[in-house]
Amino acid sequence: MNKFPTTPDEITTDWLSNALGHTVNEFRVEPLGEGGGLLGLVARLHIKGQGLPNTLIAKFPTPTPENRAVAEVYDMYGREYRFYTQVAPTVPLRSPKCHYAAYDDDSGNLALLLQDLSNMRLGDQVKGCSNAEAHAVVSGIASLHRNTWQPDHLTDIKQHDMPYQREGMIGGFRAGWPVVLEQFSQFFDDELIAIAANLPDHVNTLLDKIHAGPLVIAHGDVRLDNIFFDDDGIALVDYQAVCKASPEHDLAYFVTQSLADDVRHSEDWHSVYFDELTCQGIDYDKAYSYKRYRLCAMYFLCYSVIIAGTLDPANQRGRKLAETLLGNSIRSLKELNALELIA
């Protein structure tokens, strides 16, 4: 039986006082709706008590059965719990300070009390970011990877290329592909259609090659909608996709999906990242790293197709996000000559 709340409505003053180690005199719940790609229920707690922050973010599993089923298949709640309890205390990358974390393996229930980052500016994948902001992100993920190089001791954190991930990408692409071709045909020429249509047949080979070398702890979903900015740099949120993956996993996803053409062309982002990754003596071959980077970029076309194929085209921001993802991803693949990897 859970000894912690599973929804904001179940929070009590006594439980909150015990969880935080300080007496809470009173609190108020401000609903924030579902977050984390509709896979988490989030609320802001307004707290009165000595030695306590004025606000905290409470995060729980989604109450929507079909969304929860997806989260449980991919172990998203367990992943986030393990990040905050096993990884976050050991790395310099900023994430919300975790004031309380609990997870029940049997029920899959999760409760987190996290620092409220509303004093920072949340990124926007549709609007994009500046060159300076992109540098801050690339530096941040390099620091995460540098400090979790070859994380064999973190046995509870699984590799990205688990069977359910492989099956999900193959099935998701095949479901989304006809929708994307119908709704967003402007992004595809005949050559691209002929090559990309066969991507599901290459997913297993791509993932085998990507994961054949050194691994790190990856955030797994580095996009501007999950990044807060201030004068001191960045803070990453939403660790439901954290995994062991190639160092290039987070980099390729961020560069090919979140960076507009002008920012993407302003730097050799792989070189910027690689220099940061290896600045403290990690022995890693740059040419091999670049090869994995291109493989990751090709693989992540699955993500943009799946997301674009499931977003509501009647929703203006949803359609704009789909166009941004597809446009950035396809132009990136052509710039990297990555289509030849599966041609």
Q: Delineate the domains of the chain, giving CATH numbers in brackets.
A: 8-115 (3.30.200.20), 121-341 (3.90.1200.10)
The type of residue at 254 is: F
pLDDT mean across residues, the chain:
95
What is the crossing angle of helices 248-258 and 131-146, to 10°? 160
The helix/strand/coil state of 214 is: coil
Integer Cα distance of 102 and 110 in angstroms: 6
Q: pLDDT tens digits for 185-200? A: 999 999 999 999 999 9
Residue (of 88, 86, 95, 99) closest to 21 by Cα position? 99
Integer Cα distance of 205 and 208 in angstroms: 5
Residues 6+ apart with CB under 8 A from 339: 192, 195, 196, 298, 333
C-alpha angle 238/239/241, rounded to 5°?
Answer: 115
Show the beta-strand stretches assigned E in the chain. Answer: 26-35, 40-48, 55-61, 98-103, 110-115, 121-122, 216-218, 227-230, 233-236, 243-245
Q: Tell how strand 98-103 and strand 55-61 pair up.
A: unpaired
- pLDDT class of 118 with cuts at 50, 70, 90: very high
The pLDDT of residue 39: 85
The pLDDT of residue 265: 98
Q: pLDDT tens digits for 235-264? A: 999 999 999 999 999 999 999 999 999 999
Q: Mean pLDDT over residues 95-100, rounded?
A: 98
Whose tokens are 């990856």? That residue is 218
Q: pLDDT tens digits for 298-334? A: 999 999 999 999 988 788 888 999 999 999 999 999 9
Integer Cα distance of 174 and 181 in angstroms: 11
Tokens representing 268?
Answer: 């050799």
| pTM greater than the 0.85 cutoff | yes
Count other C-beta atoms under 10 Å from residue 171's C-beta.
12
The pLDDT of residue 34: 54
Query: Is residue 37's pLDDT more than 60?
Result: no
Integer Cα distance of 140 and 151 in angstroms: 18
Query: Is residue 36's pLDDT more than 50?
Result: no
The phi and psi torsions of 235 (rounded to 5 degrees) equal: -135, 130
Residue 196 burial class via C-beta count within 10 angstroms: exposed 0-12, middle 13-18, buried 19 and up:
buried
State percent of the chain over pLDDT 90. 92
Q: Mean pLDDT over residues 104-131, rounded?
A: 96
Query: Is residue 2's pLDDT more than 70?
Result: no
Query: Is residue 33's pLDDT more than 90?
Result: no
Q: pLDDT tens digits for 47-57? A: 999 999 999 99
